[in-house]
Amino acid sequence: MERTLVLIKPDGVERGLVGEIIKRYEMKGLKIKELKSLVPTRELAEKHYEEHRGKEFFEDLINYLTSGMVIAMILEGENAIKCVRNINGATKYQDALPGTIRGDFAYKDTYNLVHASDCQASAEREIALWFK
């Protein structure tokens, strides 16, 4: 069994999409092992997005993630990392296919509703960061 870290970002919470988003993971058979809501600190957001430090969108990204309530979850299932990323869809809203969360609901750069770990090492690092 594999575990992955999923965030429903402030736009997902603000737009009332939490139930719709979680339903899609559950329908795929993924199990929620931990779940909490919080407004991330700047320190947490910067650690989470460490690999993007220095990029031109970094400041906007940190301001966005710390702008409101976030739902953080650990999801578990076979090939959970790949399955969740498929359900989320491509990072850019214009590339995300219909039927994915971003394809169905995202319409603006950066504001892409959800985050999910991209590999085993990221999952371990991000789970440790969000669920100390």
Q: How far is CA 126 from CA 9, 75, 96, 106, in A?
A: 15, 12, 24, 23
Of these residues, 13, 80, 115, 116, which one is catalytic?
A: 115
Q: With residue 25 as reference, give the H or E element that holds it.
A: helix 18-27
List 110, 124, 129, 131, residue binding ligand CMP (CB under 6 A): 110
Tell me if 61 contacts ligand CMP by CB under 6 A.
yes
Percent of residues in the chain assigned helix, strand, coil, to nearest 5:
45, 20, 35
Q: Catalytic: 115?
A: yes
Query: How far from the centroid of its chain's Cα atoms is residue 120's Cα?
Result: 15
Tell me if 115 contacts ligand CMP by CB under 6 A.
yes
Tell me if 112 contacts ligand CMP by CB under 6 A.
yes
List 29, 37, 109, 128, residue binding ligand CMP (CB under 6 A): 109
Binding residues for ligand CMP, per CB under 6 A? 52, 57, 61, 91, 109-110, 112, 115
Q: Which residues are catalytic?
A: 115
